[in-house]
Every structure is written in C-alpha cells, then in structure tokens.
Structure 1
C-alpha cells in the first residue's frame, strides 16, 4: 500500500534540528522524498506499524506534528503529479 507521510518538526532550537534530521533519515529508509517534509512509502501493513512507532519516538508531540495518509493498493488512481520534479514509480527500481 502507498502511504504519504508528512511532518512538521519545530526547529526553534538545536534539539529540533536534530529531530528533523532523524525523522527525515527514518522516512528515507522506507520511501521516496517527494517534497521537503513529504515522503511516499510503499509499505506492508507491518512496516507501517514499525515506521509509525519509530517516528513517534523521535518526535516531540508538543512541538511537532505527523500526518500519515494511507492511499491503499490502488493508489495510481488517487494521485496526480504536475510540475517541475519528475515523478517516479514506487513499485519500480530505485537506484541509489
């Protein structure tokens, strides 16, 4: 299933900047960054549970926010892309 993960981490202090980097690194292990604080992740349900728990332990929920959108298995009909950045195929080959 395709999951869209968005987050907003407060960077008013050095601890917030560190949290932001940790959250981004964790998300990049599971998916593709499509905008600064937005990741598309093709996950199995159990992977989503693991990722959610990891992110929640990294974040300060009094200062930061996390949103997870489950687009499901038929995500192709639920997403549209326009603009400068090229889109990618989540089920395709990812070259690092």
Structure 2
C-alpha cells in the first residue's frame, strides 16, 4: 500500500521539539521524506498499523496533527515533481 504521511507538531516548547524529532525519525524509518513534514511510504497493512501506533504514542493529540492518506497503488510512480524535488526510490531497498 502507498501512504502519504504529513504532520504538524507544535514546537513552541522543548517537549514539542522532542516530539517533532521523534515523529520525523519514526517516519524516516519506514518512508522517504519528500518535503520537510511529508513522507511517502510503501508498506504492508501490519506495517501501517505499527506506524500509526508509534505515531499515536509520540504526539500530543491536543497540540499536534498527523494525517495519513491511503493512495492508489502506483500514485508515487506517477507523481510529477517540480523544482528541487528529489525522486524517492520506492522500489529500492530502504537502508536505515
């Protein structure tokens, strides 16, 4: 499955900055960063559940927001990039 994960974490406190780093690190562990707070993820349904659980455990639901869009298969391959965008290698192994 293909997911687009976006997030907005309140960073007005040191705790918020810590949450932001944890959210980014979690997303980097499963997907490709395409913008500062946007990741493209190719995963299985169990991996999606694990990702959602980890993110839910990190964020402060009163201050932070994570949006996960389930996209049709092949959406990333057909995406058009403008500007300084870098093509994410979704078909290649993700080495962490």
TM-score, length-normalised on structure 1?
0.89
Equivalent residue number for residue 41 of structure 1: 41
Q: CA deviation at 1:81?
A: 1.5
Aligned equivalents of 1:85, 1:73: Cα separation in 2: 21
Normalized per residue, the structure richer in helix is 1
Equivalent residue number for residue 64 of structure 1: 64
Change beyond 3 A, Cα 1:52–1:94? closer
Provide the aligned C-alpha RMSD in A: 1.5
Aligned equivalents of 1:46, 1:4: Cα separation in 2: 16
Aligned equivalents of 2:55, 2:94: Cα separation in 1: 23
Structure 2 unaligned blocks of 5 or more? none
Structure 1 unaligned blocks of 5 or more? none
Aligned equivalents of 2:67, 2:95: Cα separation in 1: 27
Aligned equivalents of 1:32, 1:40: Cα separation in 2: 5
Aligned equivalents of 1:20, 1:63: Cα separation in 2: 12
Residues 1:4 and 2:13 are matched in the alignment? no
- Dislocated runs of 4+, deviation >4 Å: 93-96
Change beyond 3 A, Cα 1:29–1:95? closer
Q: How many residues align?
A: 95
